[in-house]
Structure 1
Amino acid sequence: MTIHVGDAIPEVTLKRIREGMETIDTHALFDGRKVVLFAVPGAFTPTCSARHLPGFVEHFEQFRGRGIEVYCMAVNDPFVMQAWAQAQSVPDGLQMLSDGNGDFTRALGLEMDASGSGMGMRCRRFALYAENGTVRAIHVEEPGKFEVSSAEYMLAHLPE
Structure 2
Amino acid sequence: MTIAVGDKLPAAKFKEKTADGPVEVTTDDIFKGKRVVLFAVPGAFTPTCSLNHLPGYLENRDAILSKGVDDIAVVAVNDWHVMGAWAQSSGGMGKIHFLADWDASFAKGLGLDIDLSAGGLGVRSKRYSMVVEDGVVKSLNIEENPGQATVSSAATIIEQL
SS in 2 for 1:90: coil
Percent of residue pairs bearing the same amino acid type: 42
How many pairs does the alignment contain?
Answer: 158
Picking from 142, 147, 155, the partner of 1:152 is 155
- What is the deviation of 1:91? 5.0
The aligned amino acid for 1:73 is V
CA distance in 1, matches of 2:141, 2:148: 12
Relative to the length of structure 1, the TM-score reads 0.95
User: Could you say which residue in structure 2 is the equivalent of 1:139?
Assistant: 141
Aligned to 1:9: 9
Once residues 115 and 109 of structure 1 are traced to their aligned partners in structure 2, the CA distance between those partners, rounded to angstroms, is 17
State the secondary structure of the residue aligned to 1:82.
helix
- Residue identity matched to 1:150: S
Question: CA offset at residue 28 of structure 1?
Answer: 1.6
Please give the TM-score of this superposition, normalised by the length of structure 2. 0.95
Cα deviation, residue 140, structure 1: 0.2
Taking the aligned partners of 2:47 and 2:83, their CA distance within structure 1 comes to 15
Per the TM alignment, residue 66 of structure 1 is displaced from its structure 2 partner at its CA by 2.2
Contact 1:57 1:91 survives alignment (8 Å): no
Per-residue deviation, residues 55-77 of structure 1 (Å, max 9, x unmatched): 00000111222231100000000
> Counterpart in 1 of 2:94?
92
Deviations along 1:4-41, whole A, 9 cap, x unmatched? 00000110111101121111110121010000100000
What stretches of structure 1 move > 3 A for 4+ residues in a row? Answer: none
Alignment gaps of 5+ in structure 2: none
Deviations 1:88-139 (A, max 9, x none): 1115230000001001000000000010111100000000101111100000
Alignment of 1:10-159 (within 5 A): 10-18=10-18, 19-68=20-69, 69-90=71-92, 92-143=94-145, 144-158=147-161
